[in-house]
Amino acid sequence: MSESVELKRVAMVYGPDDDPHMYELYEGVLYERSYFFYLEHGILCLRHVRKVEQPDHPHLYVDGESGGLQLAENVQREIMEVVTELIERLRSKDGLAFLLDELLWLQGRSHIELNLVKNKG
């Protein structure tokens, strides 16, 4: 039996981009203390986040500056359901299956640069 997926509803502050005073607030779900899934106009996104250490704001996180991933388009279901299903599906795959089944055949992708080989010594 697989381990259950534990998600927590939180908010992430993102920014600033061009204007140093402009921030955006996103609602979404947190997985394993630092992975934030959210929907933006039907697009499911994933970002690394850091918790804001303020006792009055226990559900507030800031962007972890790792860049983000777009995981799906045209999502029209509730985010908890979608993310739980996605995590369970990805947990059932090994790395090679993910590489061959998902990344290699990604629609509209350009060249992807990975660094998967570790030097010995």
The whole-angstrom distance between residue 20's C-alpha and the CA centroid of its chain comes to 24
Q: How far apart are the first and last CA of the chain?
A: 39
DSSP assignment letter at 72: E
Q: How far apart are CA 104 and CA 27, in angstroms?
A: 31
Cα(16)–Cα(24) distance, integer angstroms: 8
For the entire predicted model, the pTM comes to 0.86
DSSP 34: T
Instruction: Report which residue type is found at 92.
Output: S
59-114 pLDDT, tens digit each: 999 998 788 899 999 999 999 999 999 999 999 999 999 999 888 888 887 888 88
pLDDT over 70 at 1, yes or no:
no
pLDDT tens digits for range 30-42 = 999 999 999 999 9
Domain borders along the chain are 7-93
